[in-house]
Structures are given as C-alpha cells and as structure tokens.
Structure 1
Amino acid sequence: MAEVSAEARLEAPAEKVWARLTDFTAYGEWNATHTGFPRGGPEKLELGATYTENMKLMGFPAEVLWTVDEFEAGRLLGVRGKGPMGVVVGNRYTLTPDGNATVVRIDGEFTGAAVSLMAGKLKDSATAALNESLRKLGGLVA
C-alpha cells in the first residue's frame, strides 16, 4: 500500500471551495492527474454514485471506475476506484472552514500487487500531484 496526503489553507469560504471541487465540468482546471471523463462526471454526487475518469500518474495513463463511498455535502468527499492491473485507489477530500478561509486536505491510497513494485516512486509522484492540485485549486477560488 502507498499512502499520500497534502493539505493547504485556501483563501476562500468552504462553500466556494466545495463548489469548485465538485464541478466535474471544470475538474481538469485544477486536478493535476485528470485527463478526462469519458462519460461525464457523476450524474448526482451522492453515496454510491459511480463515474469513470481517465488519469495520468507517473506518466502512465489509467482509467479508474470511481464509487463515492463517503459524502457530506460541503465538507467531505471520499471515492474509491478500480484501476488497471488490479490497483485500487482511494481519495478523500476534507474541507474545514477556518474563518474566511478553508483548510483542504486530500488523502490518497493505492493498493494492489503492482503498487508494491513502485511504492516509493508512486508516493513521490502522487504527493507532488496533490500539492500541485491544491495550488491550482487555491488560485481558482481566491
């Protein structure tokens, strides 16, 4: 298993950050690993919603079938997905209001036989992508 996380304080209220975070039509504007939604994002963002995302991590393209497994509107979005080579991916986005700003934390995990072969490199690449994503998200909501 490889676990990664990143956190940033964004100078915007949680409602504005949540709106941008869950706007799947503009997901690629901030998410550093996203390359497309072949069939669009989830029709309705709720527990059990599913959608397919095309991504690129460590230079490799991947298609992940996501399922929303944690959801509290405006505060928490957790997704778990199945990718290529038996890899299971999880992402958890947590928003915590901090005055007029919002602390955004992203926790990710990767499991599967293929992960153990490249865990160190995967952690470095995924952590860099999370930090880049938070930087871009912060620029869009400020």
Structure 2
Amino acid sequence: MDTAMPLRYSLLPDTYAIARLDPAAPVPPGVLDGPGFSTISRTADELSLVCPEARMPAADRVEGGWRVLRLHGPFAFDEVGILSALLAPLAAARIGIFAISTFDTDYLLVKAEALATAQAVLAAAGHVEVA
C-alpha cells in the first residue's frame, strides 16, 4: 500500500475501557456480550480486556475514557505502513494511542480528551473520517 494514500476510518459510538487482569484469571462474563467492539488478549504476563465502559467488569487495573477509531479495511497481510501512516502524525502531535489489530483491519484507541485533536491531526495528514 502507498502510505501517502489517505486512509479511511470511522469513530465508534461508545466510550471504552481497557483492563489488565492476572494472566491466569478467567475471562469475566459479559465482556463479549452485546454489540460493538471488544477484544480479549492473553499473554504469559496478562489478560487484557477492551470493551465499552458499560460492560467492563470490576478489575484492579482499569482505565476508561477511550474512544475507538476503526480503519476501513480489509488490509492484506503484505500491505505495509498502514498503522505508521496514522501513528506518525499522532506521535508528532504527542497523542498517545492503544492499537489493536484484527484479521481484517486495525483499531486505534485515543483518550476522549485527545479525540478532537487526533481527528484534526489525521485530517491534516490526509486521512478521512467517514460516518
């Protein structure tokens, strides 16, 4: 992919939370229930949950207030520079992100208070927000 090419993305409607649980913890019920984006990752070090704040179970380490930008894929596995085309301008603007990739596309989480700035930075870089 030509990373100079504008990427299209949509803002998901909910506010999201990210939680870190012990790596041996069971997946809490309800995290994947209902519509919208959610994801679970388990590594040797942690169990990470991302879901709408309303569905996030109690956990020792939870951080809410995230908004989700969904890139319009699908992107082939041999396409390079997809995330960097978005992350470079956001990094230059000092906007932190939490990135998640799926089989077809990528999701960027930005804090709600940085959302308007992130949208402006992405627009200035040539990327297009669609409904």
The two structures share one fold, judged by TM-score above 0.5 = no
Structure with the higher helix share, 1 or 2: 1
Structure with the higher strand share, 1 or 2: 1
TM-score (normalizing by structure 1): 0.23
TM-score (normalizing by structure 2): 0.24
- Point out the structure with max Rg over C-alpha: 2
